[in-house]
Amino acid sequence: MNFLITGANGFIGRALRERLLGVPESLPAALRRFGRMTLLDLNFPGPEVTRVRRIPGSIADPKVIAQAFDSPVDVVFHLASIPGGMAEQNYELARQINLDATVALLEAARAQNIASARATTFVFASSIAVLGGPLPDAVDDRTAPRPTMSYGAQKWIGEILLEDFHRRGWIRGRALRLPGIVARPAERTGHLSAFLSDIIRELAQGGSFACPVSPDSSTWLMSLSCVVDNLIHAATMPDTGCQDTRVWTLPALRTSMTQLVEAIAAVYDPDAVKRVSYASNPALEAKFGRYPPLSTPAAERAGFRHDGDLESLVRRALPAHG
């Protein structure tokens, strides 16, 4: 089995490749042996790894995608993207990466299937940004996408194309709408929701934090470890789990900022509650602080999971500090 990971040097991509290269017994049987892992990203610091091929360059470059598919690919984890804030600032770049490159990857998988009757399992990292906002009083599997940012619109188009390619038998498609993933590293990558990671990291390290949304603001969160679990499940789940849909809004924990701070305090330091101040940014809170109750029965039936409870999420968000 040959894997391809786009955005392989990103936050989720690094965690996924480390899991796949880790202890075989921690993986589903289908993933314990692989022939080659191909990684795509702009650059790759560090030494080469056995059985891993690194292709530096932009996935907007057709030559990069052609090289990635120069031998059959069994599973694609398509994680590369230009996130929300950066996508709003640079439409051309966001379209090239979030949309045009997704089409090119799907077409490469289609060409492989036509040439060899070997269908790629295509796992697409979509986003809850497709739902847009303001959100209704509750969100469930019937909630229609209404993206209000270019990033969400481009992810939604990717979902539609994936479903169509799957319908035609060219790929085995699985699209996961990811919630807020924590805790992202400190460097800024264009994620407007970075404060959700910053508050966990700063308080866990004994620092103070000025929260840009109000104490009662609510959001949907998942730890990095949990999202990797779900990506791997998507790659290995039987086709019978995809009969009703190939696009899932992932289960996530809904939390207020007060509840999140209390969970951080319970795990790391009771005094953490005293080190938080709140000054709401209305625009930021409108996008990331008014998430209603979430119901995801289709994803749960298909075997996707959340972290269980907030304290577990906080522990898994910063494993090095746990």
Let me know if 151 is a catalytic residue: yes
One of 151, 268, 278, 291 is an active-site residue; which one? 151
Q: Which residues, other chains included, contact 41 with Cβ-Cβ below 8 Å and sequence gap of 6+?
A: 6, 7, 8, 9, 10, 13, 54, 56, 80
Stated as kind and residue range, the H or E segment containing 53 is strand 52-56
Could you give the count of Cα atoms lying within 13 Å of 17 in the half-sphere of its Cβ? 28
CA nearest to 130, candidates 190, 77, 179, 80? 179
Q: Which residues of 174-195 are buried (b: 16+ CB within 10 A; e: fewer)?
A: bbbbbbbbbbbeeeeebbbbbb
Measured in whole angstroms, the distance separating CA 248 from the mean position of its chain's CA atoms is 12
Which amino acid, residue 104? A
State how far the Cα of 172 lies from the Cα of 119, in Å rounded to an integer. 7
- Tell how strand 247-249 and strand 276-278 pair up: unpaired
Q: Compute how many other C-beta atoms are within 10 angstroms of the C-beta atom of residue 2.
A: 17
Q: Which residues, other chains included, contact 283 with Cβ-Cβ below 8 Å and sequence gap of 6+?
A: none
Q: Estimate the share of the chain in helix, then strand, then coil, as percent rounded to the nearest 5.
A: 45, 20, 35
Ramachandran class of 212: left when φ > 0, alpha when ψ lies in -120 to 50, beta otherwise: alpha
Q: Which residues are catalytic?
A: 151
